[in-house]
Structure 1
Amino acid sequence: MKLINLKWQQLILSLGCLLLIIACKSFYPTNKPDAVPLRVATDPTFVPFEIQKASGDLEGFDIDLMNALAQPAAGIAKVAGFAVQFENLPFDGMISTLQAKRVDAAISGITITAERLKTIAFSRPYFKAGLAIAVREDNQNIQDFNSLRGKKIAVQIGSTGADFAKTIPNAKISTFNSGPEFFQDLLNGNVDAVISDAFATLYAIKNGNLKGIRVVANLLTQEYYGIATPKDSPHLDAINKGIGILLSNGTYKQIYQKWFNADPPQLPNS
């Protein structure tokens, strides 16, 4: 009799453990071995949005945001069970890679533009930015768009800064793969100004010990970054829901304050 009761107790205990395991797996979808990998392209030269440390690990505002979206408690993992896998890719190759669907998404300070929306899709805006002019500290002649006329301008290949520079009358444009390269050319006197993202430029000057460079007070543009995906992406709805969750639960604000030491501005829904 005692033997039978013992067997029943063991059976009940086993069933209880099984139910607990099932419940845990349902609540934490990213712990599932079959979690869907989300291949995300990024260019780790766009400081402070993407940075590759000496160890090879990635960090930065965009990286923190994407990792937050993958958390089961609040993000795309909760919606669709994704496991984010970053892939390093030069910025000027991201649009074509998305068009070919060789990655599922891209995050690298990619500005939402009407031209890009013709070939790829974007999430709701996750960052308010703008283009700025950087010059040497001793340059007092360049103050705004009009004073860039006929000047030697440095830009990053494939960026909105590169597109904007084309509108400057008689400008001589030099293109570079990354920020450190064009800032060095500016310091060396090979170009008169750099047109780049305002936040990235200010961060680079402050943390990269770029003495001798300043940012002109007047921003050239106002723009928004989005997470880029191929057209008709099955993941876009989940990504948008995840961004909404991070904005509403305070996680986005924490990430923003970590990298920019300021409260984030209001963002539009679309």
Structure 2
Amino acid sequence: MKKLFWSKKLSLVAVLAIVSLLSACGNDEDTATEEEKSAWDEIQEDGSLTVATSGTLFPTSYRSEGSDELTGFEVEVVREIGERLELEIEFTELGFDEMLTSVQTGQVDLAANDIEITEDREEKFIFSTPFKYSYGTAIVRSGDLSGIETLEDLEGKKAAGASTSVYMQMAREYGAEEVVYDNATNETYLRDVAIGRTDVILNDYYLQTLALAAFPELEITIHPDLKYSPSEVGVVMNKDNTELADNVNRVIEEMLEDGTIAEISAEFFNGADVTQKVNIEE
């Protein structure tokens, strides 16, 4: 009788040991599964993409007068990307410098705000397939062109813009004094040139043209002789998020092929198709 009791006890211990072992294996598998989840897996589980944009850059990212609805060329391109990837889009409005930091630290999934593709940035981020091509121009006072004839004349002039933009980098290279704003509106930038607080704004041709058209009362103009730096624009993603980049590129290429981005461009750039490459003489 005693022998039977110990036999049963030993059998119970063996069963418990096996159950414990299987449970541990199960936990290890669960942990491994969690560890193997990519950023793209998490985005799909969450069902949304977080996107940094300024909300103040007409016509890329802004609010129409009297409306709280965010819109603009890249805002609508991103919304279409989200629809094709079956993901909700959650916009976070940030200043230009904050956008790139937020992508780098993983606080947002991507940034969309007329961000040019450069070699330096490509070392730190993944850019999507380009969907906007343009070149640089300069807004100056219409009366005297702010005393600027060539890029060399930027030396000593006050140039306004974001400190990390490619245009401000160029201004510094030519000896301009930078005047930095904290996510200011286009009107602030333009009015300061008109009243002489600053002298010049270096920026993208299409953005400059539309900005001027929005404020015809200001005595400013696009410099007739300054055309430089052909540019390409795409959305920006974290260097490690390659699966997101693959999927974003897939749908952007579909949108370029079927003309969707060209249609969005026409809506926000007075009929112009910014998806077409441009050639200029440096």
TM-score with structure 1 setting the length: 0.78
In the alignment, the residues of structure 2 paired with residue 168 and residue 214 of structure 1 have an alpha-carbon distance, to the nearest angstrom, of 21
1:53-83 CA distance string (max 9 Å, x none): 4432101100111112223xxx3x1xxx322
SS in 2 for 1:134: strand
Within the candidate set 264, 271, 275, 1:255 is matched to 264
RMSD across aligned C-alpha pairs, in angstroms? 2.0
Counterpart of 1:266 in structure 2 is 276
In the alignment, the residues of structure 2 paired with residue 210 and residue 200 of structure 1 have an alpha-carbon distance, to the nearest angstrom, of 18
Structure 1 residues 238, 129: closer, same or farther in 2, change over 3 A? same
Q: Which one has a larger percent helix, Structure 1 or Structure 2?
A: 2
SS in 2 for 1:115: helix
Task: State yes or no: 1:229 paired with 2:237.
Answer: yes
1:120-199 aligned at under 5 Å gives the runs 120-140=125-145, 141-169=147-175, 171-177=176-182, 178=184, 179-199=186-206
- Report how many aligned residue pairs link the two structures: 228
SS in 2 for 1:44: coil
CA contact 2:141–2:221 (8 Å) conserved in 1:
yes
Please report how far the alpha carbon of residue 144 of structure 1 lies from its aligned counterpart in structure 2 after TM superposition.
2.5
Task: State yes or no: 1:111 paired with 2:111.
Answer: no
Please report how far the alpha carbon of residue 159 of structure 1 lies from its aligned counterpart in structure 2 after TM superposition.
1.5
1:122-148 CA distance string (max 9 Å, x none): 111111122211111101432331222
CA contact 2:262–2:275 (8 Å) conserved in 1:
no
1:63-78 aligned at under 5 Å gives the runs 63-71=75-83, 75=84, 77=85
Task: State yes or no: 1:246 paired with 2:255.
Answer: yes
TM-score with structure 2 setting the length: 0.75
Identical pairs, percent: 25
CA contact 1:37–1:83 (8 Å) conserved in 2:
yes
SS in 2 for 1:263: coil
1:207-226 aligned at under 5 Å gives the runs 207-217=214-224, 218-226=226-234
CA contact 1:156–1:196 (8 Å) conserved in 2:
no
Within the candidate set 102, 108, 125, 2:107 is matched to 102
SS in 2 for 1:222: strand
Give the partner amino acid of 1:228. Answer: V
Structure 1 residues 88, 238: closer, same or farther in 2, change over 3 A? same
Give the partner amino acid of 2:159. Answer: I
Give the partner amino acid of 1:241. Answer: R
